[in-house]
Amino acid sequence: MTAGPGPLLAVHAHPDDETLATGALLATWAAAGAPVTVVTCTRGERGEVIPPALAHLEGDGSALAAHRERELAAALAALGVADHAFLDALPGPDGAAPARYEDSGMVWLAPGRAGPAPDAGPGAFAAVPVDEAAARLATLLRARRPAVVVTDEPGGGYGHPDHVQGHRVAARALALAADPEAGLAGAPYRVPVVLWSAVDADQAAAAERALPAAPPGLRRAGVDRVPPSAAVPGAQVDLRVDAAAVLDRVAAALRAHATQVQAVATWDADGGPAVGHLALSDGVLRPILRHEAYRLVGGALDDVRWPVGVGR
């Protein structure tokens, strides 16, 4: 008998990031019958709200948080993910007070590149001591013992301070989980393979050209758009996930995040670089790429078993 893939654990800053950045990987892993855990660091309570009918949620942090928790639950169900935790709900290090990690907010520095908001609150996730948040995640890593962990790259994908902090916390948690001297519950555990979520810049450029004219109320990206920090040349992509094979699940999960994602469409790409499109609150039409891309930053690809649809 051949063993299936081991457990996968993904760390994300906000509800919707699991789907936007890693939806195909999560759906493919779950469809293979292997365990998948998603950890979300905040509830995205400072997000902009797209549907006019839900505009009252914008700026009402607790109401938007509650709404986005429900959106996240629906998205995870669509992806087939059964195990989810909010980072602040996990047990903290000895003596830690109960925590509530809040969305730090962001401002656009340039189209496609974000920076810290000037008015992040005292509970902002970006200001939480890294070791405190990392201890919570490390304890979960020891309990779940994933074969693969996936998280943002150091630039936070596109610069959002919560994504940057999520990267720092995940990196520290991986070290703490493996450290016998860390003073945490559970047996020490070294995660065999660590992935950073990436964007294949070559495929993204081709997909951008393949987009249709923007529907009314939306627009195509301008020439001033800055590539996300997650973008790398195609030759530097270590692992690809076939998004076309799980497109229905990913599209359903995208639609579940209705406060954050609009204009979701999929098409028979016939081998092309894009398999659909969507837009976020900025109204810019974005391709759904044929392949999710990942960089390998810990371990070797041969160290673990991959589901069908995930490979070089």
Residues making contact with Zn ion (CB under 5 A): 13-14, 17
Q: How far is the CB of 26 from Zn ion (least distance, A)?
A: 15
* Position 124, amino acid: A
Q: How far is the CB of 50 from Zn ion (least distance, A)?
A: 15
Q: Which is nearer to Zn ion, 13 or 99 (CB)?
A: 13
DSSP string, 171-223: HHHHHHHH-TTS--SS-----SEEEEEEEEHHHHHHHHHH--PPPTT-B---T
Alpha-carbon distance of 98 to 90, in angstroms, equals 10
Residue 270: strand, helix, or coil: coil
Q: Which is nearer to Zn ion, 6 or 166 (CB)?
A: 166
| CA-wise closest residue to 277 among 221, 232, 194, 202 | 221
The alpha carbons of the chain give a radius of gyration, in whole angstroms, of 19
Q: How far is the CB of 11 from Zn ion (least distance, A)?
A: 12
Q: Which is nearer to Zn ion, 17 or 200 (CB)?
A: 17
* Position 201, amino acid: A
Q: Which is nearer to Zn ion, 13 or 27 (CB)?
A: 13
Q: Which is nearer to Zn ion, 37 or 40 (CB)?
A: 40
Label each residue of 93-150 as H, E or C: CCCCCCCCCECCCEEEEECCEEEECCCCCCCEHHHCCHHHHHHHHHHHHHHHCCCEEE
Q: How far is the CB of 163 from Zn ion (least distance, A)?
A: 6
Q: How far is the CB of 231 from Zn ion (least distance, A)?
A: 16
Q: Which is nearer to Zn ion, 14 or 144 (CB)?
A: 14
Q: How far is the CB of 233 from Zn ion (least distance, A)?
A: 24
